[in-house]
Amino acid sequence: MHVLVFGSYDVHAHPRVRVLVEGLRAHDHTVVEANCPLGLDTAARVAILTRPWRLPLLAWRIIRCWSCLVRRARAVVRDQRPDAVLVGYLGHFDVWLARWLFPLTPIVLDHLVFAADTARDRGVRPSWKTRLLARLDQSALSRADVIVVDTPEHAAMVPVELADRAVVVPVGAPVSWFGGRADQDPRQPLRAVFFGLFTPLQGAPVVGHALAQLAGRDDLEITMIGSGQQLPEARRAAAANHHVRWRDWVPAEELPAVIADHDVCLGIFGTGPKTHRVVPNKVFQGAAAGCAIVTGDTVPQRAVLGDAARYVPVGDPTALAEALAHLAENRAELRALRHAATERAATDFMPGAVVRPLNDRLRAMYPTRPSPTTLTPHGVLMPAMPYLAPNAALRYDVVGRLAIRLHPLDVLEIGCGQGGFGSRLAAGRRYLAVEPDPDSYAVARSRIEPVGGTVLNADHTGVPTGSTYDLVCAFEVLEHLDNDKAALADWVELVRPGGHLLLSVPAWPHRFGSWDTMVGHYRRYTPDALADLMRDVGLVGPETFLYGWPLGQVLELVRNRIAGRRFSALAGSSYEERTAGSGRVLQPARLSGLLATGGTMPFRYLQRLAPRQGTGLVALARRPAAS
């Protein structure tokens, strides 16, 4: 697969993205990057988001960064559209830009940090600020097709309606951290190192108090690297120990060698809830560098490290001091612990190993390669696809957003017409369409098959026996059928239990006009009537969405005027004949399609302000999992 890694991440400050890049390459994916660092770390972002008067600074930085990202994205994907876009660490805002630039490409969000959870861990009291950050988390997650988290405990924090998108990829360590070193002379003092951002999660004051208890020992040397919220408190706590060396930070390229020059790497010892949900970078990196690991006794760390670490109760400086003193006095045990950590790192912490769950998810979800792309004049990356008529463009604004929300693995479209929607829904998914009209089928096939979909010249009875799908769609089809309830019941059987049926139909019976007659409509629907019909055939939780206000009323008036002039040519034709030809009516050519795309853009956003008004109706319902 061709993967674009995208965003404002900084691999020097946060090596997580480097691990993902190296891991994907280890699984034979082609990986390119479009990266413009924002220049704000986690602490700075949380600080800005909790101080609204500083939001203009964040907005300016994001705008400047995004303009750079658009240019770089265009440069790196000029010849080939990516099969997936991976939005890097701290991508809460970048995922919005990625979704806009690549609307049909699977988006993978590395959601290593929940903004609201991090703010609470750093002392922000529950308030409108944390609620705002929680909304930021929710909006970011909803725009991703795959949500990458680092522990099962973080996966449990993903909203239940998005839970099936989550995949657990441990933090791991970059390749540069791996490499053995010779054992230290046992006559030398034991050297331990703590490095990090000194946040409450890290528990640096606990380390400081433990070091104070070790102040009289000459067989222990401690290096404390980093800066942050709890550094002053940690320094005060450890002031009595003159064997402690404090360093503000170490350049990222030098850090692996510095850590490898120590015997013990200290993990996290905080007592907050977040401590019990994470396995920090330093644990993976310290093990990869050949250090013994001493860390807090938490469920996630035990799950990852097993017996390859020495655990102490979190928040207990005495237990930590005793563990360090014991290792200083028992060098054979220290060597065994270092060896166990090194072996565990080589087996489980290499990039290729930690990325394996993501690789499996990508290959399972997107087995086909999407089509080549072109760039619009505005730089938006879109596959070459047919233009939509104005009313269809308004309709797809609703349909497309629902498809993103549902995240289906496979899609069946009944009555795909000439493939306007199908060419969009098929990209990156397993997709099958049926279209009974031979002329429309030929056009649909030429548009859908290049993006990996399949089209059959048949109605729904031509779907392979026994097949079911996560999402079954029928756009502007139900109103053409005499017995709509019977047809709907047949379609439900094609929906996988727990999957969804997505429909669009013309709205409001009182608006039935010349156009409806000309194209073979039997009826129009009210939202309540369509919802009741879906319940009657066993579907649950129907949702209805009106679209088209205010442009739809104008378009409908124009269509009725056109129909009044053309209908005489259809005198004597049957409903079936008019239905067969309906998919070929008013299909836009290149120039009219460009005008329709540009002209309907403001109305696509305007109609969202009036979701209970319009001339068209979209409905979504679920087949019960137990059915």
| pLDDT class of 570 with cuts at 50, 70, 90 | low
- The pTM score is 0.70
Q: What percent of the chain has pLDDT over 90?
A: 63
- The pLDDT score that the predictor gives to residue 44 is 58
Tell whether the model's pLDDT for residue 567 goes beyond 60: no
- The pLDDT score that the predictor gives to residue 191 is 95
Three-state SS for 359-381 is HHHHHHHCCCCCCCEEECCCCCE
What residues pair up with 526 in beta bridges, in sequence order?
Answer: none
Of residues 53 and 27, more confidently modeled: 27
- The pLDDT score that the predictor gives to residue 372 is 41
- The pLDDT score that the predictor gives to residue 3 is 94
What residues pair up with 296 in beta bridges, in sequence order?
Answer: 312
d(CA 481, CA 355) in angstroms, rounded, equals: 49
- The pLDDT score that the predictor gives to residue 99 is 85
Tell whether the model's pLDDT for residue 253 goes beyond 70: yes
Burial class (CB in 10 A: 0-12, 13-18, 19+), 313: middle
CATH superfamily entry for domain 2-168: Glycogen Phosphorylase B; (3.40.50.2000)
What residues pair up with 547 in beta bridges, in sequence order?
Answer: 616
- The pLDDT score that the predictor gives to residue 113 is 86
| pLDDT class of 36 with cuts at 50, 70, 90 | very high
Residues 232-241 have a mean pLDDT of 96
d(CA 15, CA 257) in angstroms, rounded, equals: 15
For 199-238, b/e burial (b = at least 16 CB within 10 A) is bbbbbbbbbbbbbbbbeebeebbbbbbbbbebbeebbebb
d(CA 354, CA 340) in angstroms, rounded, equals: 18
| pLDDT class of 74 with cuts at 50, 70, 90 | confident
- The pLDDT score that the predictor gives to residue 78 is 73
Tell whether the model's pLDDT for residue 321 goes beyond 60: yes
Residues 168-188 have a mean pLDDT of 81
3-state secondary structure of 82: coil
Query: Is the peptide bond preceding residue 611 cis, with omega within 30 degrees of 0?
Result: no
d(CA 31, CA 84) in angstroms, rounded, equals: 10
Tell whether the model's pLDDT for residue 246 goes beyond 60: yes
* Other beta carbons within 10 Å of 613: 15
State the DSSP H helix or E strand holding residue 403, giving kind and residue range, or none if neither: helix 390-406
- The pLDDT score that the predictor gives to residue 94 is 93
- The CATH T-level fold of domain 176-348 is Rossmann fold (3.40.50)
* Other beta carbons within 10 Å of 566: 13
Cα 619 to Cα 247, 264, 525, 527, 609, distances in angstroms: 60, 59, 11, 8, 18
Tell whether the model's pLDDT for residue 471 goes beyond 90: yes
What residues pair up with 507 in beta bridges, in sequence order?
Answer: 525
Tell whether the model's pLDDT for residue 576 goes beyond 80: no
Q: Which CATH class is domain 385-622?
A: alpha beta
Residues 383-411 have a mean pLDDT of 85
The domain locations on the chain are 2-168, 176-348, 385-622
- The pLDDT score that the predictor gives to residue 211 is 97
Among 147-161, 203-217, 550-564, 591-605, the least confident range: 591-605
Long-range contacts of the stretch 156-160 (C-beta < 8 A, 24+): 157/114, 157/117, 157/277, 158/111
Of residues 490 and 369, more confidently modeled: 490
- The pLDDT score that the predictor gives to residue 46 is 57
- The pLDDT score that the predictor gives to residue 540 is 95
pLDDT tens-digit readout, 107-142? 999 998 888 888 888 777 888 778 888 888 998 998
User: Which of 492, 472, 493, 490 is CA-nearest to residue 481?
Assistant: 490
Tell whether the model's pLDDT for residue 377 goes beyond 70: no
pLDDT tens-digit readout, 207-227? 999 999 999 899 999 999 999
Strand boundaries in 507-557, DSSP class E: 540-548
d(CA 559, CA 554) in angstroms, rounded, equals: 9
Of residues 386 and 23, more confidently modeled: 23
Residues 36-43 have a mean pLDDT of 73
Tell whether the model's pLDDT for residue 571 goes beyond 60: no
d(CA 71, CA 94) in angstroms, rounded, equals: 14
Tell whether the model's pLDDT for residue 380 goes beyond 50: no
Q: What percent of the chain has pLDDT over 70?
A: 89
Residues 146-159 have a mean pLDDT of 95
Cα 590 to Cα 521, 552, 572, distances in angstroms: 28, 22, 33
pLDDT tens-digit readout, 525-566? 999 999 999 999 999 999 999 999 999 999 999 989 888 776
| pLDDT class of 54 with cuts at 50, 70, 90 | low
pLDDT tens-digit readout, 82-99? 889 999 988 888 998 998
Tell whether the model's pLDDT for residue 260 goes beyond 50: yes
Q: pLDDT averaged over the chain?
A: 88
| 8 A C-beta contact, residue 380 and residue 137 | no
- The pLDDT score that the predictor gives to residue 568 is 54
Tell whether the model's pLDDT for residue 201 goes beyond 70: yes
Among 9-18, 527-536, 611-620, the least confident range: 9-18
